[in-house]
Amino acid sequence: MDIDQLKAEALGAIGAAASLDALEAERVRLLGKQGQVTALLKTLGGMSPEERQSEGPRINGLREAVSAAIAERKAALEGAALEARLASERVDLSLPAPEAPRGSVHPVSQVLDELAEIFADMGFAVATGPEIEDDWHNFTALNIPETHPARAMHDTFYFPDQMARDGKSMLLRTHTSPVQIRTMQAQQPPIRIIVPGRVYRSDSDATHTPMFHQIEGLVIDRGIHLGHLKWTLETFLKAFFERDDIVLRLRPSYFPFTEPSAEVDVGFTWTNGRRILGGNEGWMELLGSGMVHPRVIRNCGLDPDDYSGFAFGVGVDRLAMLKYGMDDLRAFFDGDLRWLRHYGFAALDVPTLSGGVGA
């Protein structure tokens, strides 16, 4: 057969191969051991050099053309097969993906992390202490003797007399202030600590729960005065509420363990019927504070002529409510998933100074 004729016939057959199997059959028919092109190639050995000179390129050209045509056809058939498979593998991606539960961090924990971050920048470490306290640490050492009217005002939860330890009756701490005493007894000034934790008062309504969270601040050093207290509170509140227009108003007050003592009001403005901290359209009571009473300093084995300091205490739950807008304290302790998801925080909402202490 003429080479050109063979070539035309072969290329036509290859192009017409409808499947990979048919194409393979063509390949074997043309390029296999008994194949037509293979047979032609074998004839080259018996030719004279002149013949080979002229026929060689033609036969090799034929082989290359056939090989290329097969490869091309193969790629086309494979592509079509893949397309067909993919078409059959189509899924409806509007169907729901497997659900992963969404966890959350409680607002109290988040706010405590925020406070720790802010106060770390001001050099305050975080200290803790027992919640089941003795009356010496909770009251007596804080200049609240047994007969002091302030003791009665604390609505204290007591444990029965037989639970007394070392002759001291046991109670649930009514504030985080006993940790002031424990810290001053355990370490030498300078002291800068915050003390977060659960505290307990026998009281229950929309704004009071028998358990709540408080954070105490304490600074003991030489030369500390009321102006330092004021600066610290202003600085912390501005950072915490992320507003520069936080205005404080100090009012003289009384706490047995501070002298002078001050209640601190913070200014608010009305925004859409809600009280938003900042400005001074009105005042709300926020925290109690004062210079640590000389007797308390002495009770801790320090010399009040040498050291002075300040302390303050503020409700953590209340800080959370003011910053994030909850209005019922009781919901904090209910564990209602709807509330936890609404007011809670994502695991990665870690407060940092660079990223901000609000989320």
Partner 1 sequence: MKFTLSWLKEHLETGASLDEIVATLTRIGLEVEGVENPAEKLAPFRIAKVLTAERHPQADKLQVLSVDAGDGPVQVVCGAPNARAGLVGVFGAPGAYVPGSDITLKVAAIRGVESRGMMCSVRELELGDEHDGIIELAADAPVGASFAEWAGLTDPVIDVSVTPNRQDCMGVRGIARDLAAAGLGTLKPLGDVYRMGSLQPIDGSEPAPAVRTDDPDGCPAFYAQAVCGVTNGASPKWMQQKLNGIGQKPISVLVDITNFVSIDLGRPLHVYDRAKLSGPLVARRAKPGEQVLALNGKTYTLDDTMTVIADDAAVHDIGGIMGGEHSGVSETTTDVLIECAYFTPEHIARTGQKLGLTSDARQRFERGVDPAFLDEGLAIATWLVTEHCGGTPGAVTRAGRPPLERKTLSYDPGLCLRLGGLDVPGDEQRAILERLGFEVSGGWAVTVPTWRRDVDGPADLVEEVVRMVGIDNVPSTPLPRADGVARPTATAEQLVERRVRRTAAARGLNEAVTWSFISEKEAAALGGGAWTLANPISEDMKVMRPSLLAGLLAAAQRNMDRGAKSVRLFELGRRYLADGERPTVGFVLAGDRNPRDWQSGKAQPFGAFDGKAEALALLDAAGAPVENLQVTGDASAAYHPGQSATLRLGPKAVLAEFGALHPSLVKAFGLDGSVVAGEIFLDAIPTKRASGRIRPAYTPPALQPVTRDFAFLVPETLAAGDLVRAVRGADKALIAAARLFDVFTGTGVPERQKSLAIEVTLQPTDRTLTDEDLAAVSAKIVAAAGKFGASLRG
Phi/psi region, residue 119 (left: phi>0; alpha: psi -120 to 50; beta: rest), is alpha
Q: Which is nearer to partner 1, 83 or 155 (CB)?
A: 155
Residues 62-81 that bind partner 1 (CB under 8 A): none
Q: How many residues bind partner 1 (CB under 8 A)?
A: 95
Separation CA 119–CA 121 (nearest Å): 5
CB 257 within 8 A of CB 283: no
* φ, ψ dihedrals at 71, nearest 5°: -60, -40
Q: Nearest CA to 289 among 207, 208, 216?
A: 216
Part of the chain binding partner 1 (CB under 8 A), chosen from 69-77, 121-129, 180-188, 274-282: 121-129
CB 211 within 8 A of CB 241: no
Separation CA 193–CA 176 (nearest Å): 12
Q: What is the nearest approach in angstroms of partner 1 to the Cβ of residue 149?
A: 4
CB 8 within 8 A of CB 30: no
Q: What is the nearest approach in angstroms of partner 1 to the Cβ of residue 269?
A: 19
Q: Was 259 annotated as part of a binding site?
A: yes
Structure tokens at 97: 């993906």
Tell me: does residue 204 bind partner 1 (CB under 8 A).
yes
Q: Which is nearer to partner 1, 231 or 270 (CB)?
A: 231
Residues 257-286 that bind partner 1 (CB under 8 A): 259-263
Q: Which is nearer to partner 1, 26 or 134 (CB)?
A: 134
Give the alpha-carbon dihedral of 74, 76, 79, 85, to 10 degrees. -80
Binding residue for partner 1 (CB under 8 A) from 63, 74, 106, 238? 106
Q: Indicate the angle between helix axes 3-16 and 49-88, nearest 10 degrees.
A: 10
Cα within 13 Å of Cα(52), Cβ side: 9
Residues 301-340 that bind partner 1 (CB under 8 A): 308, 332-338, 340
Binding residue for partner 1 (CB under 8 A) from 64, 254, 325, 355? 254
Structure tokens at 82: 């893949």
Q: Which is nearer to partner 1, 52 or 106 (CB)?
A: 106
Separation CA 215–CA 193 (nearest Å): 10
Cα within 13 Å of Cα(112), Cβ side: 20
Part of the chain binding partner 1 (CB under 8 A), chosen from 6-14, 64-72, 177-185, 346-354: 346-354
- Residues 127-156: x where in contact with partner 1 by CB under 8 A, - otherwise, as a string: -x-xxx------------xxxxxx-xx---
Q: Which is nearer to partner 1, 42 or 251 (CB)?
A: 251
- From residue 96, how far is each of 91, 93, 100, 102, 164 by CA, in Å? 12, 7, 11, 16, 60
Binding residue for partner 1 (CB under 8 A) from 86, 87, 95, 206? 95
Q: What is the nearest approach in angstroms of partner 1 to the Cβ of residue 266?
A: 13
Q: Which is nearer to partner 1, 49 or 227 (CB)?
A: 227
Part of the chain binding partner 1 (CB under 8 A), chosen from 10-18, 37-45, 54-62, 251-259: 251-259
- Burial of 144 per CB tally in 10 Å (0-12, 13-18, 19+): buried
CB 258 within 8 A of CB 293: yes
Q: What is the nearest approach in angstroms of partner 1 to the Cβ of residue 318?
A: 15
Binding residue for partner 1 (CB under 8 A) from 45, 167, 252, 301? 252
Q: Nearest CA to 284 among 264, 255, 314?
A: 264
Q: What is the nearest approach in angstroms of partner 1 to the Cβ of residue 189?
A: 13
Q: Which is nearer to partner 1, 3 or 122 (CB)?
A: 122
Residues 164-183 that bind partner 1 (CB under 8 A): 170, 172
Part of the chain binding partner 1 (CB under 8 A), chosen from 5-13, 21-29, 60-68, 292-300: 292-300
Instruction: Please enumerate, by residue number, every residue annotated as part of a binding site for Mg(2+).
Output: 259
Instruction: Please enumerate, by residue number, every residue annotated as part of a binding site.
Output: 259
